[in-house]
Structure 1
């Protein structure tokens, strides 16, 4: 960069919105396990597990059951719900990715919008992240699931890492471990689709033996910790073993699938040149319990049917590219919901999701996957929040639909009919769907009927393959009678689902909960959402003196009278639908730091996108936690008793232009977190930043003050000499409407990038002998050549604009 380069420009306000991406600090990689647990032998071959599985009537093989996708649930949340998940008839629970991920907790702590997808941006091959929890919690969750006859499927991101190379953990921060930095342009070209970057994410070099072994070790460790199966995210973007690109043979799948899991399937979204059958066969042969791929075209057809309120039987039988036994089937997935497939999320009501679930799950199909939407979500696309209404936080349990009596009855029906023949047809019209399962006797046979009509559906005269006999609906207790291949009596209520058989199970799932179910009280108080489902007499009590009855969705605030460091508890109670007592207690620490991750000992940073978000919304990133939890100061309830400044109090500007002061603060209670505010009596002589770093400008005497609470300390700083004239100076004119002006100077890209400071860079100072719009910045010597600069106001305005390179 040229010496004393002068720049003058007029910049219009430019809003930067490029997807919020944040950095993270990471921990050393956990040692890879060489031991392989045999999941099948450890569960189905274990008498204790088998007794629990049979108690809840769950299938022996995972592919024959239904799996609950606990979307963004934490391990703690899953554990709290495990007894009810077993009771609801799910064979397996699918978790989110469990490895270290890109950390953006600083931005709207726990909010869904622009945050949920970071679990799909790994930074390391080590277990534990801030959304789901620690590796120890994962082990505890798996062990508890097995006590109830349940199995755990982990979503594995084996295709890529995060899009932000700078936050990748040290060992993997090596570009030889990734394919070339090039985006996919043709998804139907196998080489392009498998060897290049998906949505900007760093694509793992799956032909590299170190990468393959690292992923294999991670998966083996996950199974050793208790996992029983895997979903492979973006599996079609990983080449098959017989595909050779760039002269390189891949042994990736051959290496990583030998991990001890009993069931494995891949997300293989169907297209023109994907080789769906080959992927399905590979996964099915990978484990003793089989596997397969997502049947995305089948799911699309089902969603079209329920979106447009049509239960025509043909919509539920269209497995076109993969056989049904090697398929994983759903009404909707997290991608359909969160990424906005047409307007489906808000157009699919709970009622129609249930009809779709009945059609998909009651028949003889591959594994069924129930996607649990976030609590009270399904907003309108085109708004700033997508489908997310922010009625819950990442880590919380989602919608209660997974435990709806009709959904549960369909699950129980499926579990009871493993191996039996299947027939699907309409009962009189396209708003009445009938799924029959039959083996030749009334003791074995049954049918599920979804009646979307506004009137009761009389089934008398309807043809059927069921054996002669009487069958009882698990939901209502009503019956149908069959004789001579026809239903002779019985009906299904309007807008309802009935599951008729002689294998019905009793018991309803009832819950009383509070969310978030862990964490801190970072501001003056914290909002807690009280939840209840099919429970009566629900009450709450808190350790800070609150109590009362509540209904689902009520919100309370806790901690407003608590002192810093005090633990506040919330206890919820209720009576379940079957008369059982429900009770849970949750704990929260006042003024704990919500950006602190006990799993890795790090705090969440705020990068340039985060800074712009903060500025746009008027938040201070050093104090901001969440708009719902205001006034965070880190210790308003602590009394500051003394402040003392230490450090040098003289500066020879000819030798140095900065020094660091430190403020020691004494509080009651001791060691409480407080905010220290620094100030300078004359900023033309010296400035001081929020950390106590003083920058000297010219000779003179200036007072520097540190204040916390109502206590302060002041030191007098003497500045002598003259600072050397900078060799490299940028001059620029501040645009109208900008409050401040920053220079972000950088060279290189990715791992080779060097900058003058994290975004937004360094604040420019008023230039000598210039009017009030003239500003300057002294460029460090290491950035004096071949560097670029982006000017910005520290918020949403910058020049050049978003995604444009800086000025030379």
Structure 2
């Protein structure tokens, strides 16, 4: 599904970026700055996560729903997550333990409504904000109104009309480019290393590049570009401008995890499936939008969702982002009124904390080991029923994943040096972990439990 549409004017997304995209980052959705800082120090850093995506840090409209964060009032660093001083403290503390901060940047539009007030007390009226006036927005017959996004087969409609009534910034404007770049560069100066560009699909790629090219070359930028059937805007249009969210990854992979006998088909997973280039893609099992919409699997699906995460972390395609959620039944429900500490994680009523699930968390350092050398997939094996798959990543890591209703036992080629290794799916403490012994010929007797896995790597060798 790839085609070339780039010119020399566009920046190169594959240039060296601050984040090591062979690692893993996590989205701590709606966590406070103070809680993110503590999580970096107490868990993310020690477990090897190299990045954390935080919710939009700028001033937004008031209200309890999660989507208030996506209606900007100003670019002041004050939000439900905390103040600017708390934001700076979080960035400093996370960076100190090797976890780079990625900020969700809502720069396609501003808040809807004829008038209102932001969480920091900033007032606004229709298309009049501290950073912009009415002339800075797309409009049709007059400065007060604009068309609505209604036809996804029409690129102009998608990128110049208002998305669900949110005033659409005119991203062809140099003034708008400069103001967005000023905001992002301010966060970069604080120590933020990357940005998720919300609603990037609703900005023409070349116009979006007008502010992206003003950022430091090592800034990690990825755009939210959702693809759908016959739509006019394609993810490939953003190649060379930024990394791209590959929404099709979960949609394509999940059915092979859900249905019996289909894990074997993951052998060819990659660009041949029609996915964008691996070295420009950000992949995820679900995100804050899709888990409230069309995500094939979420935390509510238990073991199959867990296996989908293991596949994502084990395979060499893309830069994986782990979703960390809060429990919800109401689509619009905002975050629970509790800190995301050890006592509330996984309690069934507040924070899910999928990033702390043992198998997921310990696969982060597994992936770091796997990235040594070429990190290529080798020694592919599968069970007779097609429910179990196994492979090594060069000579540094090996995994066997079993989707079957019973255990899968086999002697498999691991590609690893002789020795005794921790099965990090269960425990990564080399002093007490469950072990797997690799013989001199690189083989090991493996038993992967039902709906679970066995994973070993050179970083957890006894």
**TM-score if structure 1 supplies the norm length?**
0.47
Alignment of 1:325-724 (within 5 A): 325-338=279-292, 340-341=293-294, 344-345=297-298, 348-349=301-302, 351-374=303-326, 377=327, 379=329, 385-386=330-331, 392-393=336-337, 396=340, 398-418=351-371, 419-423=374-378, 426-438=382-394, 444-460=395-411, 462=412, 464=413, 466-467=415-416, 469-470=418-419, 472=421, 473-474=423-424, 475=426, 476-481=433-438, 487-504=443-460
**Where does residue 345 of structure 2 map in the other structure?**
none
**Pairwise CA distance, 1:163:** 1.9
Equivalent in 137, 157, 181 of residue 192 of structure 1: 157
Matched residues in 1 for 2:96 and 2:136: separation?
A: 40
Q: Provide the aligned length of Structure 1 versus Structure 2.
A: 405
**Where does residue 82 of structure 1 map in the other structure?**
40
For residues 43-63 of structure 1, give each alpha carbon's deviation from its aligned partner in whole angstroms, at most 9, with x where no partner exists: 97xxxxxxxxxxxxxxxx431
For residues 259-291 of structure 1, give each alpha carbon's deviation from its aligned partner in whole angstroms, at most 9, with x where no partner exists: 2253111111113332322313221xxxxxxxx
* 2:227 maps to 1:270: yes
Contact residue 481 and residue 490 of structure 1 kept, 8 A? no
**Pairwise CA distance, 1:190:** 1.3
**Where does residue 693 of structure 1 map in the other structure?**
none
Matched residues in 2 for 1:198 and 1:162: separation?
A: 11
**Pairwise CA distance, 1:166:** 1.9
Equivalent in 73, 84, 100 of residue 135 of structure 1: 84
| Structure holding more strand per residue | 1
* 2:210 maps to 1:254: yes
State which structure, 1 or 2, has the greater radius of gyration over its C-alpha atoms: 1
Q: Which runs of 5+ in 2 are unaligned?
A: 1-14, 117-123, 140-145, 342-350, 427-432
For residues 370-413 of structure 1, give each alpha carbon's deviation from its aligned partner in whole angstroms, at most 9, with x where no partner exists: 11120xx254xxxxx2496x893387463132112211221111
SS where residue 333 of structure 1 aligns?
A: coil
For residues 46-99 of structure 1, give each alpha carbon's deviation from its aligned partner in whole angstroms, at most 9, with x where no partner exists: xxxxxxxxxxxxxxx431111110001110110121121112221100001111
Matched residues in 2 for 1:471 and 1:427: separation?
A: 24
**Where does residue 209 of structure 1 map in the other structure?**
174
Contact residue 67 and residue 332 of structure 2 kept, 8 A? no
* 2:57 maps to 1:98: yes
Q: Which has the higher contact order (CA 8 A, sep 6+)?
A: 2
Equivalent in 124, 136, 157 of residue 74 of structure 2: 124
Matched residues in 1 for 2:71 and 2:332: separation?
A: 21
| Structure holding more helix per residue | 2
Contact residue 307 and residue 348 of structure 1 kept, 8 A? no
For residues 147-205 of structure 1, give each alpha carbon's deviation from its aligned partner in whole angstroms, at most 9, with x where no partner exists: 10110101111111122242336434622111121111211221111111111111111
Matched residues in 2 for 1:299 and 1:416: separation?
A: 24
Matched residues in 1 for 2:282 and 2:183: separation?
A: 24
**Pairwise CA distance, 1:206:** 0.8
Distance 1:345 1:446, change over 3 A: closer
Tell me how large the CA RMSD over aligned residues is: 2.8
